[in-house]
Amino acid sequence: MPTSHSRAGVASVCAAALTLSGLLVTGVLAARPAAAADPADYQNVRINEVTSSNNDTVELYNAGSTAVSVSGWKVADDGFSPQSFSPSSGTIPAGGFVTFDSPKGLGDADKLVIYTAGGTVVDRVEWATGKAKPAMARCGGDGTGAWVTTTAATTFGAPNAPGCPASAPAASRVRINEVTSGDADTVELYNGGTSAVAVGSWKYVDGDTSHSPAALSSSSPSATSIPAGGYVTFDSALGLGDNDSFFLVDGNGDTIDSVTWATGGAKPSSERCANGTGWFRTSTTATFGGANSCAGGSGGSGGDGGDTGRLLGGGGSLTSGCAPEAPAGTGSAPAGTLAWPGGKDVTIADDVCAFTTSTGPEGRDLSGLAFDPSNPSVLWAAKNKNWLFKLVKSNGKWIPDPSWSATGKQLRFLGGSGEPDSEGLTVGGNGHVYVTSERDNAKNTVPKDTIMEFDPSAAGSTLTPLHQWDMTAQFPQLNTGSKDDANLGFEGVGYVPDSWLTANGWVDPLTGAAYDPANYPLHGSGLFFAGLEWDGTLHVYGLNSDGTFTTFGTISTGKASVMDVTFDAGTQRIIATCDNTCSETHTFMKVDSAGAIVPDVTYTNPAVMPTDNLEGFAIAPASTCADGSREAVWTDDGVYGFGPGSSSYGHALYSGTFPC
């Protein structure tokens, strides 16, 4: 259970049959009316330049003849809720620019979506790894040119360099040339280059951010390439609304082109004038498959868009097997808490409702989390109601390892009985997985604060402990007959190697002298730090091979609760994590000059993260560092995200970056 709100007695959210974003819609959709507060001149605003380096700066360009207010506009980079941004000016003058630093953070491969105050998509751009470094800018015309990676200095706040470089890929010559939102919702692509362009792997998506991109090949199976100076037409499988957008994406995830129109702007069609190069205008006669006539009609919009779609997909329907639970009991962060030191960009890293089990919706989703130190491509995850998952990466997401168990393995207490309320886990020096339990869920009013040792290589769908250590008697305050109190015990655990404790001069509380592992011959190669949700303290144990344990005392984290504990060799710190109870914070613990383990620094989560029951946290080993950062992963025990209607609703894993 999401234990941190047990005190508040929060009821589960009914989410039966709630449709999430990421569903591929195969039929034609009803036209979506324009937001009443959106003036049509938003169509003249395009993303013109963007960088995923330094401050993640974005430039907007207004190709229209009148100034456009950007008051109340928002930005998103993935499935998270759009956020406000602070532009360099509240209006974009005709032919002018505004810039802002993205509050969402922009990843090495990512997307960027701009919305009006009324929620209409203005423009979007997506890019594959490295394409926005040092920056991406439109070439061949501000607001309407193709996207290329810049090699010269950035030009934020000023016109982009004229013309497209000779090195620009042939795909950058492909343009959306004409589109209609009437009848068959037809789209025409034009290749203005001097060589054919393969488009068999390309995709497209409309202005509905809940839609996943559709394959161009599924709409036009014969359209494997576009000849030089030639056209390809197809009918959109996503449907196009009376006011909508259309975005074209290549096989690498880079945006090629886009068009946006207001109510009636694509009837009978919206076409580029001049053919293949100009801005869009409403036509009087459709000319699909041939050069645009550009006769009569009215001014419209054009340009390119994009983003990386790292959070696209993963959609589905929430059923009673995956019932999200809203967070409650949000508290304040410790004094002096600092902003997240890693990247601002965070992505959803699992499929919706990926961890449902035979025990049903209770238990929600994942809690404790730990990278395998011997194999950083593996994440171990505990799910309440006695389940263990081995996760591996697939297409950028963490999924249950099908070679281990695609549905997780069920945990039992020593002897094969009971239902451990599995909360925290860690990997010991022997490669075994150690899991904490607060109680036996078959008797959920009685605490059972234990640490269990499992051999993950054991065969079968059920795992029983090799050893089990029961510390329940140390916490009489939890034994009140209340299931809520019984649910406030061991929430996390971290294995800390003896080598770190001795190298840093930790003083053994039992002897008052420097810690000497040789004094405890049965304990293995390190100690275990168990986090107590009740009061945020860490309890230190030596777990002996004969089933006994040594208690080394209690450590204050300065937090009201602890939900996960991990030792990070990269920072040489023990990390005590707390969810919304402590305002989503991570306290890094060190050994001070007196030999005591004390808080060193506390960080918040990245600003884009939801304020949820984010109970699990892990940082990838330093061996995985690339470009100055490594992966950080969070689990959401309540799978709530930003609530019903959000594309993060029903997801349990989030992925970001932490400095090397």
511-563 residue pLDDT tens: 999 999 999 999 999 999 999 999 999 999 999 999 999 999 999 999 999 99
Most confident of the following: 139-148, 403-412, 647-656? 403-412
Helical (H) or strand (E) element with 650:
none
Most confident of the following: 74-78, 384-388, 445-449, 625-629? 445-449
Check residue 498 and give its pLDDT: 98
Higher pLDDT, 503 or 308: 503
pLDDT (average), residues 401-414: 95
Q: Which two tokens stand for residue 207?
A: 């202005």
- Asked whether residue 304 carries a pLDDT value surpassing 70, the answer given is no
Most confident of the following: 37-46, 145-154, 191-200, 319-328? 191-200
- Asked whether residue 468 carries a pLDDT value surpassing 70, the answer given is yes
* Strands 121-127, 110-115: pairing kind: antiparallel
DSSP assigned state of 242: S
Question: If pLDDT is split at 50, 70 and 90, which confidence band does 99 have?
Answer: very high
Helices (H), 309-428: none
The CA–CA distances, whole Å, from 427 to 133, 406, 438, 461, 533 equal 37, 20, 19, 20, 20
> pLDDT digit string (tens) for 547-560?
999 999 999 999 99
pLDDT (average), residues 396-400: 93
> pLDDT digit string (tens) for 180-224?
987 788 999 999 888 899 999 999 988 877 788 889 888 888 788
Mean pLDDT of the chain: 85
Check residue 362 and give its pLDDT: 56
Higher pLDDT, 213 or 306: 213
Higher pLDDT, 25 or 75: 75
Burial of 371 (0-12, 13-18, 19+ CB in 10 A): buried
Check residue 643 and give its pLDDT: 79
Residue with tokens 């990843």: 107
- Asked whether residue 100 carries a pLDDT value surpassing 70, the answer given is yes
Question: If pLDDT is split at 50, 70 and 90, which confidence band does 101 have?
Answer: very high
- Among 35-39, 114-118, 305-309, 624-628, whose mean pLDDT is lowest? 305-309
Check residue 78 and give its pLDDT: 62
- Asked whether residue 405 carries a pLDDT value surpassing 90, the answer given is yes
- Asked whether residue 88 carries a pLDDT value surpassing 60, the answer given is yes
- Cα–Cα distance for residue pair 436/468, rounded to 1 Å: 10
Check residue 33 and give its pLDDT: 34
Check residue 252 and give its pLDDT: 83
- Asked whether residue 633 carries a pLDDT value surpassing 80, the answer given is yes
Burial of 137-154, coded b for 16+ CB within 10 Å and e otherwise, reads bbbbbbbbbbbbbbeeeb
Burial of 406 (0-12, 13-18, 19+ CB in 10 A): exposed
- Cα–Cα distance for residue pair 567/371, rounded to 1 Å: 10
DSSP assigned state of 514: B
Check residue 414 and give its pLDDT: 96
> What is the chain's alpha carbon radius of gyration, rounded to the nearest angstrom?
28
Check residue 181 and give its pLDDT: 85
Percent with pLDDT over 90 in the chain: 53
Task: Count other Cβ atoms within 10 Å, centred on residue 196.
Answer: 15
Question: If pLDDT is split at 50, 70 and 90, which confidence band does 39 have?
Answer: low
pLDDT (average), residues 287-307: 60
pLDDT (average), residues 290-295: 82
The amino acid sitting at 212 is S
Burial of 274 (0-12, 13-18, 19+ CB in 10 A): exposed
- Asked whether residue 490 carries a pLDDT value surpassing 80, the answer given is yes
Residue 405: partners with Cβ closer than 8 Å, 6 or more residues away: 389, 390, 461
> pLDDT digit string (tens) for 321-378?
577 888 988 999 999 999 999 988 888 999 888 898 877 655 678 999 999 999 999 9
604 three-state secondary structure: strand
**Using CA of residue 215, residue 219, residue 224, residue 229, what is the dihedral sign?**
negative
Question: If pLDDT is split at 50, 70 and 90, which confidence band does 593 have?
Answer: very high
Question: If pLDDT is split at 50, 70 and 90, which confidence band does 300 have?
Answer: very low
- Cα–Cα distance for residue pair 16/269, rounded to 1 Å: 40
- Are 193 and 293 in contact by the 8 Å Cβ rule? The answer is no
Q: What is the dihedral of CA 580, 582, 583, 588, to 10 degrees?
A: -120
Length of the chain: 660
Instruction: Report residue 508 CA to chain centroid gap.
Output: 41
pLDDT (average), residues 298-323: 40
